[in-house]
């Protein structure tokens, strides 16, 4: 780790960005948060914030030059459910945004790039249990298609341009600090807020829909561990499978009931059900474990306990 690095976090006010920015600021003294959105108090008060639209190439290049950026975490993206409502926007943000960041890294000498992929790169023809690192990938959401193409671009820039690009395929991420941002797995966050507020939740996925999930502290720690691993240990330059917990809405509700005994749930599946059914139920992350030592810490009950202690009813 070189604490003299100057890091740019693009999408610093999103679900991952707001927590990752704070975690990076504990390690590095120069972490610049950038987003189109207004920052929350923590991000705004703990360091430099700049407004940046990743689709605006001159402004992206000027930022990288002005602050002598040496590492970028490029997190800005349109997620699965929002992407299905606006495919054009999802393709533009997810694909053009990534390509501009990749080019900025090469042309302006940025040494290292982190870019998140997702379990949405898999599709209905992928084996759904213990989905391997390398397998059939025919995603059928625009989000999944853009992320799969993004993985190929990242690998290409590593192979052909020598860019030190690193990535993980996040499962559904759960946190109490920032709400979800238009994903299919957002139910697993909303359920805790509604449990605290109303003791009841109407779930937009069916009760037996099993999906891979992860508590945010594991995701943040894993991301930083991957970025700090020696380059020779990072053998996959498209994106690594990482996994923590797989559960259904019914199992998550049962976990909440252990703490809030009066909690109840009902189900009203909508268009997101089809998206969820096209994704894996569980992920084989043995390659990430072997290459750079990935290991999750939280299980479902551990996460539920922590979420319910920290969620504040809106
Ligand atoms: C989504 O649901 O779109 C995301 C994801 C799994 O990448 N949380």
Q: Which atom of ligand 1 is least distant from the CA of 170?
A: 7
CA distance linking residue 276 with residue 295, whole number of Å: 25
Closest approach atom of ligand 1 to CA 81 = 3
Q: Dump pLDDT digits (tens) for 282-309.
A: 999 999 999 999 999 999 999 999 999 9
Model confidence band, residue 1 (pLDDT cutoffs 50, 70, 90): low
Residue whose CB lies within 8 A of the most ligand 1 atoms, among 17, 143, 249, for a mutation test:
143
Q: How far apart are CA 265 and CA 253, in angstroms?
A: 7
Sheet holding 245-247, edge to edge: 172-174, 211-215, 245-247
Q: Compute, in angstroms, the gap from residue 158 CA to the centroid of ligand 1.
A: 25
Query: Does ligand 1 come within 6 angstroms of the Cβ of 184?
Result: yes
Residues 6+ apart with CB under 8 A from 58: none
245-247 vs 211-215, strand pairing mode: antiparallel
pTM score above 0.95: yes
- Answer yes or no: is the C-beta of 189 below 6 A from any ligand 1 atom: no
**pLDDT one-digit tens code per residue, 113-166:** 999 999 999 999 999 999 999 999 999 999 999 999 999 999 999 999 999 999
* Any atom of ligand 1 within 6 Å of the Cβ of 80: yes
User: Is the CB of residue 241 below 6 angstroms from any atom belonging to ligand 1?
Assistant: no
Using a 10 angstrom Cβ sphere, with 0-12 exposed, 13-18 middle and 19 or more buried, the burial of residue 247 is buried
Summarised one tens digit per residue, pLDDT across range 182-237 is: 999 999 999 999 999 999 999 999 999 999 999 999 999 999 999 999 999 999 99
| CA 249 to centroid of ligand 1, rounded, Å | 15
Contact 172 CB / ligand 1 (< 6 Å): yes
Asked if residue 214 has its Cβ within 6 Å of ligand 1, the reply is no
Q: Which atom of ligand 1 is nearest to the CA of 173?
A: 8
How does pLDDT run across 235-264, given as a tens digit for each residue?
A: 999 999 999 999 999 999 999 999 999 999
The Cα 260–Cα 32 span in angstroms is: 40
Domains detected in the chain: 6-171+216-241 (3.40.50.720), 173-213+245-283+298-310 (3.90.25.10)
**pLDDT tens-place string over residues 79-97:** 999 999 999 999 999 999 9
**pLDDT at residue 314, rounded to an integer:** 58
Q: Could you report the per-residue pLDDT of 37-81, keeping only the tens digit for each?
A: 999 999 999 999 999 999 999 999 999 999 999 999 999 999 999
């Amino acid at each position: 780790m070189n604490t003299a690095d100057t890091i740019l976090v693009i999408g610093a006010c999103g679900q991952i960005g707001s927590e990752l920015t704070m975690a990076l600021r504990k390690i590095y003294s120069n972490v610049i948060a950038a987003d189109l959105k207004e920052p929350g108090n923590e991000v705004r008060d703990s360091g430099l914030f700049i407004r940046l639209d990743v689709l605006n190439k001159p402004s992206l290049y000027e930022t990288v030059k002005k602050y002598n950026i040496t590492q970028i975490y490029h997190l800005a993206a349109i997620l699965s459910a929002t992407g299905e409502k606006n495919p054009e926007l999802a393709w533009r943000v997810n694909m053009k945004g990534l390509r501009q960041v990749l080019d900025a890294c090469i042309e302006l000498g940025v040494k290292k790039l982190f870019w998140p992929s997702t379990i949405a790169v898999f599709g209905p023809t992928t084996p759904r249990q213990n989905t391997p690192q390398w397998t059939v990938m025919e995603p059928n959401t625009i989000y999944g298609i853009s992320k799969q193409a993004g993985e190929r671009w990242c690998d290409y820039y590593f192979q052909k341009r020598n860019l030190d690009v690193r990535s993980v395929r996040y499962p559904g991420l759960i946190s109490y600090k920032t709400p979800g941002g238009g994903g299919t797995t957002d139910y697993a966050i909303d359920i805790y807020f509604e449990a605290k507020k109303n003791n009841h939740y109407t779930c937009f996925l069916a009760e037996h829909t099993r999906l891979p999930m992860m508590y945010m502290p594991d995701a943040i720690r894993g991301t930083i561990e991957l970025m700090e691993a020696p380059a020779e240990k990072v053998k996959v330059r498209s994106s690594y499978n990482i996994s923590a917990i797989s559960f259904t809405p019914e199992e998550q509700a049962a976990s909440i009931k252990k703490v809030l005994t009066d909690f109840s749930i009902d189900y009203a599946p909508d268009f997101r059900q089809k998206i969820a059914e096209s994704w894996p139920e569980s992920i084989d992350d043995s390659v990430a474990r072997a290459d750079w030592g990935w290991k999750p810490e939280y299980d479902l009950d551990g996460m539920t306990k922590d979420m319910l202690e920290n969620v504040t009813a809106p």
